[in-house]
Amino acid sequence: MTLLEQQELRCDILVAGGGVAGVSCALAAARNGTRVILVHDRPVLGGNASSEVRMHIVGANGTGHFDRGEELKTEAREGGIIEEIRLENCVRNPQRSPSMFDLILYEKCRTEANLTLLLNTTVTGVVMQDDTIMSAIAERQSTEDRFTIDARYFVDCTGDGRLGVEAGALFMEGREDREQHGESLAQDRADKKRLGSTILIQARRHDRPMPFVAPDWARRFSKEDLALRLYATPGEEEPTHEYGYWWAEYGGSLDTIKDNEEIRDELLAIVLGIWDHVKNGPEGTAPGADPFEASHWALDWFGFLPGKRESRRFVGHHVLTQDDLMNSREFGDAIAYGGWSIDLHPPEGIDAPELEPCVQHPVPWLYDIPLSACVSKNISNLCFSGRNISATHVAFASTRVMGTCAVMGQGVGTALAFASAEGLPLATLLKSIPAQARIQQQLMRDDCFLIGQVNADGHDLAIDATATASSELKNGLASWVNLGQTRAVHGERGVEAKRRPADSERWISDPAAGFPAWIELAWKKPIVPTEIQLIFDTGMHRHLTLSHHDGYTETKMKWGAAQPETVRDYVIEGHDGKNWHTLATITNNYQRLRCHCVVCPAPVRRIRLTVNATNGLDHARVCEIRVYE
């Protein structure tokens, strides 16, 4: 007898796992017209970015050892849904509250019409028919419910790959040897070791001394134990107390799934031991010693959920390798891009004090992530997104970061929405060049960047329009708003020259002309627009992510307000040959992608966007205008 009440649910796409990859996947699929159920086994969304772990979202623009951003030259920050979320969080969460970020993710999913969110719900099994998943079985103990969820397609964004493993999907674990894929950064011999896990901590400064007494079971560290970590933290001039420590890593020599409870216990002993070292000095130091000027600091939070870096990686129709990343290999079925360094950590983590906590091998250019690396090789209707995609251990060391996971999630969600609408099996999708092209065009319409791709949407009337403006600069002509490229990637470490369609990417008004500044599209024949889409500059050369590291936030970002480049107040008008008609009036904008459904009282030959103010700059920047009937 069981107390669990049986519930039967149906959808087009089931997404398991509500980290940033799963959230982006579910939102993309739902916004493109499919019925989606998102199942997540925690009470809050976000995975390693949530309040339970509190790791900041990084991606292709890098951080620490390797930054690749340069204004109007190299804009590598991820676009689409993750940019929407970052901008929302930046403006609505100036206090940098981790719980506020949880709320923003929850709000996005809860208010999406085609999306059903099931929190505290774990996939526990599947119903198979040959090589096809017919249903997923999920349980929610908090309400004593068991769900049987029928779907056409299934996406595993769980990180550990629980859904796919239940279905019998092929997967990899550990590190390959150098010969298997010809990877110079791989091991001499294959093994089962992985990147370890970390529990982060946060401390707060008080107006009086705050003593700390470590529990008896906390680890004890000498200065030599932490010489390459606490005393020489990469990218930091001195240790910080408000946020740390990513390098407190452990468990890579164990099974990061089966041994996760043991790993958590040991990580707690490690981080409390490090804090004891910071507060009271190395073992053997005189009582009351304060080598890091931490006397007034006290622990405010520490996690009980390990931030896991690596466990299983599925086998797809393509396995990404070191050469794919280093050579920026072109894939016809690209749905996302990456650019984080190949970031390898010693599996022993803190127990290998003689080794650097990480060795980062920069990838020279942004690189493609293909759909074929996100589709199971042996399960006909299973995709995956996030750190469990089809990649070698070496390639995974770059693709695993959350900004990259988010854009591949949006790519997979968009691809499956198209497949669902057309009734296509995944095998057919992978072979269809026209289908892949349509998916890529939809991704770009949704402000996702794809290397070498430009707007070729036959429904976009702006492509055939003539653009003029009240003023323009030589490096920002009005005619560039409808050339089909929405960001600069021609700078150092952007996109390799042979894969770049052009260097031009936005209209920039002359600062001397001031505001208002306008840009206008004109057609030879009248049109009746129903949707006008705008993409604004949001400073995508900069970092922008919720981080509890004060120095990183203050020096790398503009946090707590709209990005200064972004157009704030604007008006859209249409001209019917005699009169201007106001189609939309917007104030206090801070988003990059804005879509306006409009009603024209008469056919128009001209559409004008008038910028009255930005959020900081003395001129207007517009990356793209699209117009649809």
Query: Which tens digit of pLDDT belongs to each residue from 478-520?
Result: 999 999 999 999 998 999 999 998 788 899 999 999 999 999 9
Query: Could you give the 3-state DSSP secondary structure of residue 461?
Result: helix
Residue where one domain finishes, among candidates 308, 333, 357: 308
Q: Summarize the confidence of residues 465-476 as an average pLDDT.
A: 97
Over 80: is that where the pLDDT of 334 sits?
yes
Residue 138 lies in a domain: yes
Q: What is the CATH number of the domain that holds 38?
A: 3.50.50.60
Domain count, the chain: 3
- Reference 185, options 2, 5, 342, 381; nearest CA is 342
Q: What is the CATH number of the domain that holds 489?
A: 2.60.120.260
Q: Say if CB 116 and CB 38 are below 8 A apart.
A: yes
Same domain assignment for residues 245 and 367: no
Query: Which tens digit of pLDDT belongs to each residue from 506-561?
Result: 999 999 999 999 999 999 999 999 999 999 999 999 999 999 999 999 999 999 99
Same domain assignment for residues 337 and 239: no
Over 80: is that where the pLDDT of 66 sits?
no
Q: Summarize the confidence of residues 409-416 as an average pLDDT.
A: 98
Tell me the two tokens of residue 496.
Answer: 């390799």
Residue 188 lies in a domain: no
What's the rounded Cα separation, in Å, for the pair 159 and 313?
8
Q: Say if CB 45 and CB 539 are below 8 A apart.
A: no
Same domain assignment for residues 272 and 351: no
Q: What is the pTM of this model?
A: 0.97
Query: Could you give the 3-state DSSP secondary structure of residue 122?
Result: strand
Query: Which tens digit of pLDDT belongs to each residue from 581-619?
Result: 999 999 999 999 999 999 999 999 999 999 999 999 999
Same domain assignment for residues 283 and 421: no
Residue 183 lies in a domain: no
CA distances from 75 to 57, 459, 476, 531, 541 (A): 16, 27, 16, 27, 4
For residue 130, give every residue at least 6 positions away whose Cβ sits within 8 Å of its Cβ, in sequence order, or none. Answer: none
Same domain assignment for residues 10 and 138: yes
Looking at residue 285, its pLDDT comes to: 63
List the domain range (segments joined by +) for residue 244.
196-308
Q: Give the position of tokens 């021609």.
A: 490
Angle of helix 20-31 relative to helix 402-422, nearest 10 degrees? 30
Same domain assignment for residues 132 and 17: yes
Residue where one domain finishes, among candidates 387, 417, 445: 445
Residue where one domain finishes, among candidates 393, 417, 445: 445
CA distances from 587 to 330, 566, 582 (A): 41, 12, 14
Interstrand relation of 153-156 and 382-384 (parallel, antiparallel or unpaired):
parallel
Same domain assignment for residues 365 and 323: yes
Residue 184 lies in a domain: no
Specify burial of residue 338 (Cβ count, 10 A radius: 0-12, 13-18, 19+): buried
Q: Summarize the confidence of residues 430-447 as an average pLDDT.
A: 98
Secondary structure, 3-state, 472-541: CECCECHHHHHCCCCCCECCCCCCCHHHCCCCCCCEECCHHHCCCEEEEEEEEEEECCCEEEEEECCCCC
Same domain assignment for residues 362 and 420: yes
User: How high is the mean pLDDT of the chain?
Assistant: 95
Same domain assignment for residues 202 and 279: yes
Same domain assignment for residues 66 and 202: no
Over 90: is that where the pLDDT of 136 sits?
yes
- Reference 122, options 22, 189, 41; nearest CA is 41
Looking at residue 293, its pLDDT comes to: 85
Looking at residue 3, its pLDDT comes to: 87
What's the rounded Cα separation, in Å, for the pair 298 and 216?
18
Residue 190 lies in a domain: no
Query: Which tens digit of pLDDT belongs to each residue from 274-323?
Result: 999 999 988 656 555 666 889 999 999 999 999 999 999 999 999 999 99
Residue 81 lies in a domain: yes
Same domain assignment for residues 398 and 435: yes
Share of the chain above pLDDT 70, in %: 97
Residue 247 lies in a domain: yes
What's the rounded Cα separation, in Å, for the pair 436 and 438?
5
Q: Say if CB 237 and CB 198 are below 8 A apart.
A: no
Residue 180 lies in a domain: no
Same domain assignment for residues 508 and 478: yes
